[in-house]
Amino acid sequence: MNPSTEPAVVAAADPLESFLDREYSAGFVTDIESVTIPKGLNEDTIRLLSAKKHEPEWMLEWRLSAYRHWLTMQTPEWAQVSFPPVDFQDISYYSAPKSKKDGPKSLDEVDPELLRTYEKLGVPLHERARLAGVAVDAVFDSVSVATTFRKQLAEVGVIFCSFSEAVREHPELVRKYLGTVVPTSDNFYAALNSAVFSDGSFVFIPKGVRCPMELSTYFRINASETGQFERTLIIAEEGAYVSYLEGCTAPMRDENQLHAAVVELVALDDAKIKYSTVQNWYPGDKDGVGGIYNFVTKRGDCRGPRSHISWTQVETGSAITWKYPSVILRGDDSVGEFYSVALSNHRQQADTGTKMIHMGRNTRSTIISKGISAGHGSNAYRGLVRITPKAENARNYTQCDSLLIGKTCAAHTFPTMEVQNPTASVEHEATTSRIGEDQLFYAMQRGLSAEDAVSMIVNGFCKEVFKELPMEFAVEAQNLLGVSLEGSVG
């Protein structure tokens, strides 16, 4: 080389770019024959859907009243997201694989093509497979196609089944709890879900039972031009414990698909529910074409004294995420927790956070939110901590950190605190940092590749949240963020 004319240039691809341009690996389509009802939404659609599921009259009435209320509501506009109006008449509200009759009784009856789909997604449904210690309810488009380990769970009195089945088999429990945490009129998307929800999971842990294995639901959207509207209801009776995980993926498509779920948790005296989500819906391409609109209402009710509800979420997918898993701390000495990692890359928009409503005495809540913005992504934390007048000695700690990768992304924080009792202690800490060139240079000077260095830094940023995830999901979450597992040294 000629040193006087040819300045030395270090040839290295921008490490951040290559890290952020990974492909969406769950974007395949399963070729399976489905029954899909025509697009559009009216009372007849709901009657048809309810009939397909052989629902009792009370369930249909519940749906119809939700629908009638929904008609009076407006789409919420307050979130830090923007998208063209959704045409609710241009969506099919029910799509199910044809092979399914009344819900398979055992895995042998499940279409092998579906089994292969879940295998490919890393969620094998064979009970002796990788997730051997985890019972899985697999929801494919609008129906649950399989639920594993039912027998073992039934032996200790745990009910874990699809929501449709619960409506038929355990109507007394469903009627007692459905809509008691998220009323049908709660918000626009919750009302829509109440009208048209198709399936989901139902969990009941009886008094004093510690659920012997992790329960999980794996949601897969496959059909095009459909929405997925699942409903999950988890009840932990006095002294019961359950850890529940959910995962989600969808094919890559140019259209936007709507996913509007409702999750209700009820924890009675001394019960504990730990609910973890790894959300990896298709986020759209790098120009923002396609992707899932993830508009979800999740809420837990710490109904009994000393009850405990903990939400952990890793949100890496979806074109738009709009969700605020919340806890109503009704029982004295109850505890609510929210741990969140939300990543917005390319044109993704996330507006997510939590609400902690302190009503009981000595209630405590912890909020740890980690927002990562990259590309043209926009990430907002929105939180409400409310201490009601009767909540003596309530305590909240909120920590809200944003990490910016690159120069074209955005992070916003909208914390709200309403304190109506002078004995309360409410703390809020927030930081915003940019993934440092300094940090990258330092790690690379120690011999790490750029990719490993970025992964390590992002992983470190998320560590407080990842450690709340069950082991199986911690691995998946770290892989999703393209990070290598820290291993036993960490």
Partner 1 sequence: MLSIKDLHASIDEKSILRGLNLDVKPGEVHAIMGPNGAGKSTLSQVLAGRENYNVTKGTVDWDGQDLLAMPIEERARSGLFLAFQYPIEIPGVSNAYFLRAAVNAARRHQGLPELDAMDFIKLAKAEMKSVGMRDEFLYRSVNEGFSGGEKKRNEVLQMILLQPRLAILDETDSGLDIDALKVVADGVNRMRSPERSMIVITHYQRLLDYIVPDFVHVLAGGRIVRSGGRELALELEEHGYSWVMEGGKDQKGAAA
Residue ranges binding partner 1 (CB under 8 A): 1, 3-4, 7-12, 436-439, 441-450, 452, 456-457, 459-464, 486-490
Find the shortest distance in angstroms from Cβ 144 to partner 1.
37
Q: Which helix (H) or strand (E) holds 145?
A: strand 143-147
Q: Which is nearer to partner 1, 410 or 448 (CB)?
A: 448
Find the shortest distance in angstroms from Cβ 485 to partner 1.
10
Q: Which is nearer to partner 1, 24 or 466 (CB)?
A: 466
Q: Which is nearer to partner 1, 58 or 441 (CB)?
A: 441
Which residue type sits at 159? I
Q: What are 445's two structure tokens? A: 């000077």
Half-sphere exposure of 145 (CA within 13 A, CB side): 30
Q: Which is nearer to partner 1, 72 or 445 (CB)?
A: 445
Give which of 276, 279, 226, 275 is closest to 248, Cα–Cα.
Answer: 279
Q: What are 40's two structure tokens? A: 């559009």
CA dist., res. 371 & res. 377, Å (int): 11
Q: Which is nearer to partner 1, 85 or 447 (CB)?
A: 447
Find the shortest distance in angstroms from Cβ 457 to partner 1.
6
CA dist., res. 329 & res. 207, Å (int): 20
Q: Which is nearer to partner 1, 287 or 438 (CB)?
A: 438
Find the shortest distance in angstroms from Cβ 7 to partner 1.
5
Find the shortest distance in angstroms from Cβ 463 to partner 1.
4
Q: Which is nearer to partner 1, 224 or 439 (CB)?
A: 439
Measured CA distances, 385 to 20, 298, 365, 414 (Å): 34, 16, 9, 11
Q: Which is nearer to partner 1, 420 or 484 (CB)?
A: 484
Q: Which helix (H) or strand (E) holds 7?
A: none
Q: Are 279 and 318 in contact (CB under 8 A)?
A: yes
Q: Which helix (H) or strand (E) holds 142?
A: none
Find the shortest distance in angstroms from Cβ 436 to partner 1.
7
Q: Are 87 and 98 in contact (CB under 8 A)?
A: no
Find the shortest distance in angstroms from Cβ 452 to partner 1.
7
Q: Which is nearer to partner 1, 61 or 437 (CB)?
A: 437
CA dist., res. 300 & res. 354, Å (int): 11
Q: Are 365 and 396 in contact (CB under 8 A)?
A: yes
Find the shortest distance in angstroms from Cβ 63 to partner 1.
45
Find the shortest distance in angstroms from Cβ 352 to partner 1.
20
CA dist., res. 400 & res. 389, Å (int): 26
Query: Angle of helix 450-466 relative to helix 471-480, nearest 10 degrees?
Result: 140
Q: If you count DSSP H runs as helices and E runs as strands, how many of each does the chain have, helices first? A: 11, 23
- Cβ atoms within 10 Å, residue 410: 16
